[in-house]
Amino acid sequence: MTNWYSQTNSEETLEQGDLLLNCPIVSPPSKGKPEEWVDFSIDNYDVTILTQSCDLANGKINLVQVCPFVSLSEFCKLNPNFDNYKSKESIRRGYLPGYHLLNKCDFLGVDDFLIVDFKSAFSLSFLFLEEFKKITKTRIRINSPYKEHLSQSYARFFMRVGLPSDIPQFKKK
């Protein structure tokens, strides 16, 4: 399973498919006017980078698109309706565009699959991530072609179009 992943050091450039563990995310209060905010919460998420590697390498962006990921068992605890064979198989086959299944990662020390949650995508400052990567000795990187598969899966989720009315289903004769 290690062919899905490799380890890289803090000096390597950030790439699409890098897994950033315990990445701090600042959350503003949910109520009140921004000029009145005094309390912010900081939550840590495990995230994977979705922004294209070429944009990261050339510093052509200010914000980096990331998505949180969790182990499959943790995902099923948070979403009990997915804790069955049919739902897990639907995610594995790519039938549920809001999620992407990654293989088990020996580097994490957990014998479980990973679920990337596209529905919770957000952006972080490129400059922040450049500094954050320096404090981590190593990071995990999804290897090709698996990171391109992740990117393609995210594109399918992002490009969905909901139609106001659809072509009716064909009926068996």
Break the chain into its structural domains and give their ranges.
Answer: 2-158
Each residue's pLDDT tens digit, 91-116:
999 999 999 999 999 999 889 999 99
24 and 44 Cβ atoms separated by less than 8 Å: yes
pTM over 0.75: yes
With a pLDDT cut of 70, the percent of the chain lying above it is 99
Position 124 pLDDT exceeds 80: yes
Asked whether the predicted pLDDT for residue 1 surpasses 80, the reply is: no
Taking the C-alpha atoms of residue 159 and residue 99, their distance in angstroms, rounded to an integer, is 14
C-alpha of 62 from chain center: 18
Q: Give the type of residue at 44.
A: N
Mean pLDDT across 12-24: 96
| Average confidence score pLDDT of the chain | 93
The angle at the Cα of 11, spanning 152 to 110, to the nearest 5 degrees, equals 60
State yes or no: pLDDT of 2 exceeds 70.
no
Give the confidence band of 82 by pLDDT, cuts at 50, 70, 90: very high
Q: What is the mean pLDDT of residues 63-69?
A: 98
Q: How far is it, in rounded angstroms, from Cα 49 to Cα 149?
A: 13
Report residue 30's pLDDT band, with 50, 70 and 90 as the boundaries.
confident
